[in-house]
Amino acid sequence: MAKAAWVFPGQGSQAIGMGADLATVPLAQERFAEAESVLGWSVLEVVQADDDKVSNTLYTQPCLYVIESILVDLLQDRGHQPAVVAGHSLGEYVALYAAQVFDFAAGLTLVQRRAELMAQASDGMMAAMLGFDADDLAAKLEATPGVVLANDNNPGQVVISGTPEAVTAVMESVKAKRAVKLNVSGAFHSPLMAEAAALFQPVLESIAFATARVPVLSNVDPIPATDGAVLKQRLVQQMTGSVRWREITLALPELGIDTVVEVGPGNVLTGLTKRTCKDLALVNVGNLEQVEGFTN
């Protein structure tokens, strides 16, 4: 039997219509209703809106959390369990839910407040860089105040974050195959999110974190952990800290993992994994048909 890591994508993987097929399942119907009571709006209505409302940070994060959590519920209801879990940025909240660190409503309460604070963060800029010299990029980041490595996704793809001037300066000075400004409201995963992180902390402190049922590899620390206090502290650091996804991926084979299951819309994380650890088997579970066909 495969030893699987379940991984959960974050903002950027959303798509109009995602999760709508789940609404035929009673378990999912209960979750959508519970989500509406927490959020005050309908996830199903937002994801099916033609104006791409689902790509507004305020809605993106709660919608991804709800849909990915429902996919977790459906998989676990069929007897499937991961050996370890990890999530990319927002996806870490689903990883913690899958590991039973908190319940569905508690996680959604955290995600809704996180989304509100991040949507209000209008200062700063983020850019994706592909095909670059890692040493050159590291040197330029070190020499340029106001910009940091926000997402270390794989050896050939990163995201930098900081003030518009600093991010632009690095984009223009580092030779890369592609450098693209991201359509986000602020400099996520950088020190510029310190104020938002400080406002978020009281909400985070109000939620009890249980011992995880399976190890969690956190964005800011890829060492597996199950202690609730440790996992909460790592989440405190997540808003201003880098997403160390490349290190998370490299840690999986060392933990005996042979299969990576991306639970959520799209295939961003399996795509990143393919370029980092070529020997890992890759599976995507992003809709009802894929849940029903899942055999690991």
How many CB atoms sit inside 10 A of residue 122's CB? 8
- Give the DSSP H/E element, type plus range, for residue 49: none
What pTM value is reported for the model?
0.96
pLDDT digits 0-9 by tens, 223-280 = 999 999 999 999 999 999 999 999 999 999 999 999 999 999 999 999 999 999 999 9
Read off the amino acid at residue 7: V
- From 13, 69, 89, 190, the catalytic residue: 89
Domain boundaries, the chain: 4-121+190-293, 125-181
Tell me which DSSP letter residue 243 carries. Answer: B
CA distances from 270 to 88, 276, 283 (A): 12, 10, 7
pLDDT band at 119 (very low <50, low <70, confident <90, very high): confident
Whether 296 has a pLDDT exceeding 80, the answer reads no
CATH of domain 4-121+190-293: 3.40.366.10
Whether 1 has a pLDDT exceeding 80, the answer reads no
pLDDT band at 185 (very low <50, low <70, confident <90, very high): confident
- Residue 95: CB partners within 8 Å, gap ≥ 6? 6, 7, 8, 85, 86, 87, 216
Q: Which of 159, 160, 154 is nearest to 249 (CA)?
A: 154
- CATH superfamily membership of 125-181: Malonyl-CoA ACP transacylase, ACP-binding (3.30.70.250)
Is 88 a known active-site residue? no
Contact criterion met (CB below 8 Å) for 248 and 222: yes
- From 189, 190, 218, 242, the catalytic residue: 189
Tell me which DSSP letter residue 94 carries. Answer: H
Query: How far is C-alpha 185 from the chain's CA centre?
Result: 17
